[in-house]
Structure 1
Amino acid sequence: MIKNKIADDKLDTLVSKSVVPIIDLAHCGKTVVNRVGQQLHKAFTEKGIAFLVNHGIADEKIKGVWDQFDNFLDLPAEIQDRYRRKNGVNYGYVSPGIERFDGKTPELRHTYNICKLDDQNLPREPLPEFADEITNLTNDFKTISSFLLKAMEVALEVPPGLFAENHSQMLEGDDVNMTTLRMIYYPAIVDDEPGQSEGAIRCGAHVDYGTFTLLSQDSEGGLEVQLPGSEKWQRVGHLPGAILINGGELLSIWTKQRYHALPHRVVIPEQEQIRTRGRHSIAYFVHPDNKTPIDPQDIQKDEASSSNEKIYTAYELIQKKFNDTYGQRS
Structure 2
Amino acid sequence: MARVEPGSVDRVACIGAGVIGSGWVAHFLARGYRVTAWDPAPDGEARMNRLVEAAWPALEALGLAPGASRANLSFEPTLAGAVAGAAFVQESAPDRLALKVDLLAEIDAAAAPEAVIASSTSGFGMTEMQVKAARPERLVVGHPFNPPYLVPLVEVVGGEKTAQDAVDWATAFYEAAGKTAVKMSREVPGFIANRLQEALWYEALHMVAAGEATVEEIDLALTAGPGLRWAFMGPFLTFHLAGGEGGMGHMLDHWPPGSMDPAWTRLVPPKVEGALRDTIVEGCEEEAGGRSAADLIRERDRKLIAVLRALREA
Q: What is the TM-score with the length of structure 2 in the denominator?
A: 0.23
Q: What is the TM-score with the length of structure 1 in the denominator?
A: 0.22
More strand by share: 1
Q: Which has the higher contact order (CA 8 A, sep 6+)?
A: 1
Q: Which has the larger radius of gyration?
A: 2
